[in-house]
Structure 1
Amino acid sequence: MTEDLRVIEICAGAGGQALGLEQAGFEHELAVELDENAVNTLRHNRPHWKIARGDVADATVWNPEAYTPAPDRRPIDLLAGGVPCPPFSIAGKQLGASDERDLFAWAVEQANVVKPRALLLENVRGLSMPRFAGYRQHVLDRLGEFGYSAEWRLLNASDYGVPQLRPRFVLIAMKPDDFAHFHWPVPTTNVPTVGETLLPLMARNGWRGAEAWAERANDIAPTIVGGSKKHGGADLGPTRAKRAWAQLGVDALGVANEAPDVDDIFSVGPKLTCEMVSRIQGWDDKDFKWEFTGRKTSNYRQIGNAFPPPVAKALGLAIVAALNGTAQRRDRDPAPDMDPIYRTLRGNSGFMTSSQIMRATGLDLTAPEIDRRISLLSRDFEIIKETRKSGLAYQLGEFKAFTGQDNHLRHDYLRSNVSKVS
């Protein structure tokens, strides 16, 4: 008899990833979420789940050691989550490890405590950029130390049947024998447009312009932006996104309460309701049915900050096939170096000059370019510099990210801003 595959989901939000993983065959052992409104939505839809509300890094909310494999306790099959995005967002300061909200590195460390068979973490596209090459390399190195093989991949939601681009940067890790069976999900060729997706909802109140509107909205949507508690009411994103929405005949300056009435006329187009936004995120009335609780602005943020359920399902099915050994085994190439300069400094206990770094890495770079790249590293790692006659020499110091330290500045930040943290 095959045992159920069990998942612990951290930073679960309102349930986008949770629903997709459930449909892929995972049973939720636990879901942890900070936001009260999102927790209420989770409990409304899955009252039988064990759901913990609070800071996931607080051991009184969730104690990872309680799930470490033991003679009377089999391993958790999957540790998953969508940890906070602001540290890596292109729209923000990209502080990375220096951002008090960063939980990515902490989540990676929990893999060595919980020891799940697989790890799934997702974040914004910004984490895939050169700015975070050293951070990504640190993650791969740590997972290697814990006995996992891992890969990063940038996925677009539109490749999995969701009518918006929504790029997400995904990390998958497994023990090598299981990872040999892992294949990234194959993109679908059948992606509905915004018009096709929303026509039934736009026509709900008999709006005469619905058919013509759907013909105009003949493309996928820009990425839905959920925003945070620090900002005002709900709308569909920054200026560039609003222009893209306008091309589709959508007024992105806010969210509507109802679908258009019979004779409504718009200069740009109608606004979307929260239900419409949820359809753009991949929820529907058939395969991915879900109800959101709370007021409109809260609903919109829950929906807009979610991981699209169809993408989570596609990833979940790929993970299930790997863990069950039903996917074809293949030889995998070693993970490429994200940042050879970081790797070189990390492997050297002393100081290294630019010339030594270039020789060790094989990179043909000038000393100023080496210094520029190390300057990027210094945003996530302590960099110790020593002046020599031949120029600067560098030594890699501590990783700045929160990984569970009792004295980390994250604790003070959270105590002071818990009502504003999304």
Structure 2
Amino acid sequence: MTEAHDSEGVLMSDGSSGSGPVVIDLFCGAGGLSEGLRQAGFQPRVGVDFDKHAVSTYRHNHPGVPVIEGDVEKVTGEELFRLAGTRDIDLIAGGPSCQGFSTHGKRIQDDPRNFLFKHFVRLVDEVRPKMFLMENVKGMLTYAKGEFRRQIEAAFSEIGYRSDFTQVLAADFGVPQKRHRILFIGTRIDDIELSFPAPTHGEGAGLKPYVTLAEAIGDLPLMEKDYTASKRKYASAPQGPYQVYARSSAPTEVTMHVGRPLSKQAATLAAYIGQGQGLRSAPIEVLPERFKKMRTIANGQLRRDCTTLYYRLDPSKPSYTITCNYKNVASGPFLHPFEDRAISHREAARCQSFPDHYEFLGASFPRQIGNAVPPLLAKAVGVHLIKLLGVGSHRQRYKRVA
């Protein structure tokens, strides 16, 4: 087994074997949650997902971890035990899709994806891990005055798990992105007092400043209209701790850093849009007709909607939420801060806090990257959960080193 030290001096496993607490990752996708939990000291033993492209990515980056590619409805606890090689599971983690409650799309209460959490609950009941961690969109917290949240809490209570929840902002934990999410944690162990990690970054006393977009991607080269090069030289040596983290064990050249020209309409608008500005900064005469109609409200003031469409990212701040549509500047805040193009796959992955050695395979890269849990957010939660589990100070392989 190989070992590496992260930028904070924590000894880390490569995830293929070891003595860390065991985690099973349901709805694992491309592996952002597993990657962060691995960095924290957990040992991923099984992944489950139906997306063949995401599964290919997961297998490539988590060698030796078996992945069930298929419908979670057909997965059983006994199958998970067999693949994990143990019946002593510390954590079941995952983000069952609840896209019907997403604030980035139409909210549809009866979307069948909203009820995948029932299979998460079922497998927690069958496996009986010491704890569970469930990540999801923050819209489920308030939809129908919290009814969906209450259903989740009641379902876990019914199988004997105490639970708690909180909202988190990924930027508060060193991720260069304003990504809001909700976390549920729970346990069947009486001695575990449920709590969540405190933010490490922000504007308050004692906090590190937020990681900005410039700090996240500043060493990646500009494309200068060469959109298709499969590999490019880094623009500079790593500048600052985030770039050091991102390039740890990375190849000597940047991969997945590709783009394409903007459409004629988008290029016309982009010429008027400065850093930290969106569609509403363009003159009304160059706006598409549908936006001219939405320009003002009854009192003549400018409407405040659509402000992040065609938005050019501000390098001095974290990015906005990276969604599955980050290659489409008409859909949100994805204009590169210095060039008239959408951000690249690698730039999006950097905003999600994937290190550069993390390779995405197959197709549908925007879906794989946009749907992922940011690894550094997962790491922060994982470090805290290890403390709750009472193993953090007793595992020699994961102790803090000088």
State which of 349, 361, 368 in structure 2 corresponds to 1:293: 361
For residues 176 and 299 of structure 1, the distance between their equivalents in structure 2, rounded to whole angstroms, comes to 39
What is the aligned partner in structure 1 of residue 301 from structure 2? Answer: none
For residues 45 and 233 of structure 2, the distance between their equivalents in structure 1, rounded to whole angstroms, comes to 42
Taking a change above 3 Å as real, the CA distance of residues 137 and 278 of structure 1, as seen in their structure-2 partners, is same
Structure whose CA Rg is larger: 1
| 1:280 is the counterpart of 2:351 | yes
For residues 187 and 222 of structure 1, the distance between their equivalents in structure 2, rounded to whole angstroms, comes to 19
Taking a change above 3 Å as real, the CA distance of residues 3 and 147 of structure 1, as seen in their structure-2 partners, is farther
Give the CA deviation at 1:273.
1.4
State which of 113, 117, 136 in structure 2 corresponds to 1:101: 113
What is the aligned partner in structure 2 of residue 200 from structure 1? Answer: 219
Q: Which amino acid aligns with 1:165?
A: K
State which of 32, 41, 45 in structure 2 corresponds to 1:29: 45
State which of 62, 67, 84 in structure 2 corresponds to 1:46: 62
Please give the secondary structure, in 2, of the residue aligned with 1:105. Answer: helix
What is the aligned partner in structure 1 of residue 319 from structure 2? Answer: 221
For residues 218 and 127 of structure 1, the distance between their equivalents in structure 2, rounded to whole angstroms, comes to 31
For residues 185 and 61 of structure 2, the distance between their equivalents in structure 1, rounded to whole angstroms, comes to 27
Give the CA deviation at 1:304.
1.2
Calculate percent identity across the aligned residue pairs. Answer: 32
**What's the CA shift string for 1:210-239, capped at 9, x where partnerless?**
x99899521111111115xxxxxx625664
Please give the secondary structure, in 2, of the residue aligned with 1:129. Answer: helix
Please give the secondary structure, in 1, of the residue aligned with 2:99. Answer: coil
Give the CA deviation at 1:174.
1.1
1:6-405 equivalence runs, <5 A: 6-58=22-74, 62-67=75-80, 74-96=87-109, 98-102=110-114, 103-131=116-144, 133-180=146-193, 182-188=195-201, 189-203=208-222, 217-227=315-325, 235-236=327-328, 239=331, 241-242=332-333, 245-246=334-335, 249=337, 266=339, 269-285=340-356, 289-295=357-363, 298-324=364-390
Please give the secondary structure, in 2, of the residue aligned with 1:95. Answer: coil
Give the CA deviation at 1:185.
3.8
Please give the secondary structure, in 1, of the residue aligned with 2:386. Answer: helix
Q: Which amino acid aligns with 2:352?
A: Q
**What's the CA shift string for 1:308-338, capped at 9, x where partnerless?**
00000111111111011669xxxxxxxxxxx
What is the aligned partner in structure 2 of residue 405 from structure 1? Answer: none
Taking a change above 3 Å as real, the CA distance of residues 237 and 107 of structure 1, as seen in their structure-2 partners, is farther
Contact 1:149 1:179 in 2 (8 A): no
For residues 140 and 382 of structure 2, the distance between their equivalents in structure 1, rounded to whole angstroms, comes to 21
Contact 2:164 2:194 in 1 (8 A): no
**What's the CA shift string for 1:157-216, capped at 9, x where partnerless?**
111111110111111111253431644343322322112211110356698xxx998995
Contact 2:327 2:344 in 1 (8 A): no
**What's the CA shift string for 1:101-142, capped at 9, x where partnerless?**
230133123222111111111111111114251221122122
Contact 1:9 1:32 in 2 (8 A): yes
What is the aligned partner in structure 2 of residue 255 from structure 1? Answer: none
Q: Which amino acid aligns with 1:24?
A: A
For residues 361 and 50 of structure 2, the distance between their equivalents in structure 1, rounded to whole angstroms, comes to 16
For residues 328 and 377 of structure 2, the distance between their equivalents in structure 1, rounded to whole angstroms, comes to 21
For residues 49 and 294 of structure 1, the distance between their equivalents in structure 2, rounded to whole angstroms, comes to 18
For residues 319 and 170 of structure 1, the distance between their equivalents in structure 2, rounded to whole angstroms, comes to 12
Please give the secondary structure, in 2, of the residue aligned with 1:180. Answer: coil
Q: Which amino acid aligns with 1:99?
A: D
Give the CA deviation at 1:47.
2.4
Contact 1:181 1:321 in 2 (8 A): no
Contact 2:72 2:119 in 1 (8 A): no
User: What runs of 5+ residues in structure 1 fail to find an aligned partner?
Assistant: 228-233, 251-265, 328-422
Which stretch has the larger CA shift, 132-141 or 214-223?
A: 214-223
**What's the CA shift string for 1:321-363, capped at 9, x where partnerless?**
1011669xxxxxxxxxxxxxxxxxxxxxxxxxxxxxxxxxxxx
For residues 104 and 132 of structure 1, the distance between their equivalents in structure 2, rounded to whole angstroms, comes to 19
The two structures have a TM-score, normalised by structure 2, of 0.64
Which stretch has the larger CA shift, 198-207 or 22-31?
A: 198-207
For residues 135 and 234 of structure 2, the distance between their equivalents in structure 1, rounded to whole angstroms, comes to 40
For residues 42 and 185 of structure 1, the distance between their equivalents in structure 2, rounded to whole angstroms, comes to 29
For residues 314 and 392 of structure 2, the distance between their equivalents in structure 1, rounded to whole angstroms, comes to 43
**What's the CA shift string for 1:260-313, capped at 9, x where partnerless?**
xxxxxx5xx34321111100111124xxx4111134xx1222111110000001
Q: Which amino acid aligns with 1:166?
A: R
For residues 145 and 365 of structure 2, the distance between their equivalents in structure 1, rounded to whole angstroms, comes to 32
Which stretch has the larger CA shift, 33-42 or 144-153?
A: 144-153
For residues 126 and 36 of structure 2, the distance between their equivalents in structure 1, rounded to whole angstroms, comes to 25
What is the aligned partner in structure 2 of residue 341 from structure 1? Answer: none
Give the CA deviation at 1:67.
5.0
